[in-house]
Amino acid sequence: MNTTCTNKSTVLEARLEQAQLLKKVTYQFSFISLTRMLTPQQVVDAIKDLVQDCNFDCNDSGIALQAMDNSHVALVSMMLKSESFSPFRCDRNIALGINLTSLQKVLRCAQNEDILTVKAEDAPDVVNMVFESADNDRISEYDIKLMDIDQEHLGIPDTEYAATISMPSSEFQRICRDLTALSESVAIECTKEGVKFACNGDIGSGAVTLRSHTDVEKPERNIEINLSEPVALTFSLKYLVNFCKASGLSDSVKLCLSNEVPLLVEYALSNNSYLRFYLAPKIGDEE
Amino acid sequence: MTSSDDSVPPSTPSHDNGIFSDEPAQISSPPSSPPGFPWEQQKNNTTTPTRPAISAFSVLGKRKALADIDDNMRPTKKVAQTAESKPLSQMQISLGQKVQQKCKLCGMEYVRSSAEDRKLHDKHHKQSTEGYDVGKDFVQKAPVGTIFDGVAKEDRIFTVYCYDTAPRKRRAQAVLQIAQRDLGAVPISEEDVWGYKNEDGHVGRTSEPRYRAYMYIRKTKCIGLMLIERIKEARRVVERDAARREAKKGACPGNGSALSTLQARRQAAEKAELEAAKHPIELSRTSDGAKIGIARIWTSPTHRGQGIAVALLDTAVKHHDERVDKKVVVQVVDRQGEVVAKQNDTAVCLTDATCEPLEKLRGKEDVAFSQPTAAGARLARKWFGKLYGWHVYID
């Protein structure tokens, strides 16, 4: 399928059977930066924040992306393993600095079922994207200009979490959405009995408790709680709601908590690929 | 013009927090900007947070609730008063990321995670990349006789001095501050530059002002500024003795072809230029007469190498001579009474009708630089067209 290869050597070539995946993923990133859009004065600020650039690190194991929001409260880490692409070829490690707004614009031109091929040359100044329609012979091709982004790669240490909760992603999304109406933060308390999402707002308080649950017929409805010690932490719902926009990518979501450590919200994708969000907790003022 | 507008780019001491940092809160110290109100500072001092237990990657920083949390806030005093609702503060993730970032284009260091710092940076960045915006009115309503052509088509050079309207002076002062900060020059007091008062302490529009600014404006953005000063004498830049001897030694021409002689001469000139740039300038003991002193000359860093400074210098010389020529006409107007002068309220009328006789320049030798920086000396050498023998004055 690599017919459009020019005389310059192509270093990266990754073909994705469904454009939808990348489309949804990138949507996420622009949202991370959107989280600051709140009061009218800040809208202007947020539009500027929106122009966020990010390095797509490509190597032979896949394409990785890492970005921290401007306020350093949330971090998103994406890994698309080479197995997710067919074929995947990356001869040399390259970092593609892409403006996410531009990427989003181009990806909007793709149909969800299109086959997406990402290509980059050696020392590229553009990244080439080809969308092939599965059912007709339409081929669209786009080039996105790359940017030189000075971005550090942050090593995220492997962490033993005190509590790990797996649940349907739609369930988590619903909880977050419901509680946002009441308050701006949610306390997640995980005990032997189950996990409780509680909030306390101006108009009153609310809590949703989930218990371990196994559904034999629909394993995706399972709720699994693994706990080594009870944990209680509070997080900003604003960020969580934004994370939940990834719910379409995966049926289930994994929340990992430990005291004094950021919350990990993981959406597992096929072939070991993943989309992870880290969120720093809120703590009470000791005044 | 308050100085807070163009205050020095903030800088906070940088922290190198490792992944397992146990520095809790320093990063989110109040943004590096002029300190706030005293009571705020006190509060910050008293709330030094206790060190949290550290595990895998530490959660850092006590942060005042970000503005984004105010979204569905309602003014409810009751809630605030209840003992149970403790104010929560948002932590930040620390993975050893650089807290302070240096902007590649404008060179300002700022804390990315602080909205306040970001805003300051945006402002500084815009000013340093695009130039200071003086606004449409400044360009369109400039008095007759104060506008000159620049290098490019849409460029204009405007001259501003102490008898101009306050808004014009304010704009010029703002650019002057930016320029002085960029040059690292000693600030000249605002009163000296824009005040009516002249040296004798006499107040009024009676004399030729001591300072005059030339602003190089592209569309509405000011990208170059020159402040000239009326001076009486200046010293000549002399060649160092050692350099002179060396030059003489190298000067003996080889008896080759014309081309090789030309090349040798060119090389020698380049070498001499390099040599001159390497050493600090040396001044003559005696003073010569001079009329125009270049107190400050500056071009926006992103617009250098376009001949802007040279255009400013040429304009100053041209303008000076123009004023000398026009003086005759203006004086006639003045004799008919001040009313006329006020009616044509142009800069030309008001200054030139009054002051002590302006003398025509003898040429570039009447122009002197105030102690130039390395780049300033380079400019001076280029403009005067000679390495030595141009003038420098001492404030």
How does pLDDT run along chain A (287 residues), one tens digit per residue? Answer: 444 444 456 677 777 766 666 655 554 443 333 222 222 222 223 323 333 677 888 888 888 888 887 778 888 888 888 887 777 888 888 888 888 778 777 877 877 777 778 888 877 888 888 888 877 788 899 998 998 877 777 788 888 999 999 999 999 999 999 999 999 999 999 998 899 999 998 899 999 999 998 888 888 889 999 999 999 999 999 888 888 877 877 889 999 999 888 999 998 887 788 888 899 999 876 54
pLDDT at A223: 92
pLDDT at B210: 82
pLDDT at B96: 78
Distance from CA of A18 to the nearest CA of B (A): 33
pLDDT at B17: 43
Q: Which residue ranges of chain B lie beneath pLDDT 50?
A: 1-31, 40-56, 62-67, 69-71, 76-84, 327-355
Residue with tokens 């005759």: B328
A129/A99 Cα distance (integer angstroms): 14
Cβ pair A89, A185 in contact under 8 A:
no
pLDDT at A49: 35
- Which of A72, A183, A259, A260 has the most B C-beta neighbours within 10 Å, making it the best mutation to test the interface with B? A72
pLDDT at A182: 93
> What pairing do the DSSP bridges indicate for beta strands A126-132 and A163-168?
unpaired
Query: Is A155–B19 a contact, with Cβ atoms under 8 angstroms apart?
Result: yes
Alpha carbon of residue A138 to chain centroid: 30
Complex ipTM over 0.95: no
Integer CA distances (angstroms), B365 to A30, B226, B368, B375, B386, in order: 60, 18, 7, 20, 11
Q: Which of B67, B92, B118 sits opposite A38 (nearest CB)?
A: B67
Angle between helices A40-50 and A19-34 (to 10 degrees): 140
pLDDT at A39: 24
pLDDT at A172: 94
Query: Is A280–B113 a contact, with Cβ atoms under 8 angstroms apart?
Result: no
Angle between helices B258-278 and B374-384 (to 10 degrees): 140
Give residues 75 to 114 of B whose Cβ lies within 8 Å of A: 76, 79, 84-99, 104, 112-113
Q: Which residues of A touch B99 (CB under 8 A)?
A: 72
Give residues 35 to 54 of B whose Cβ lies within 8 Å of A: 47, 49-50, 52-54
Secondary structure class of B43 (helix, strand, coil): helix
Neighbours of A248 (CB within 10 A): 14
Tokens describing residue A181 = 């109406």
The DSSP H or E segment spanning A164 is strand A163-168
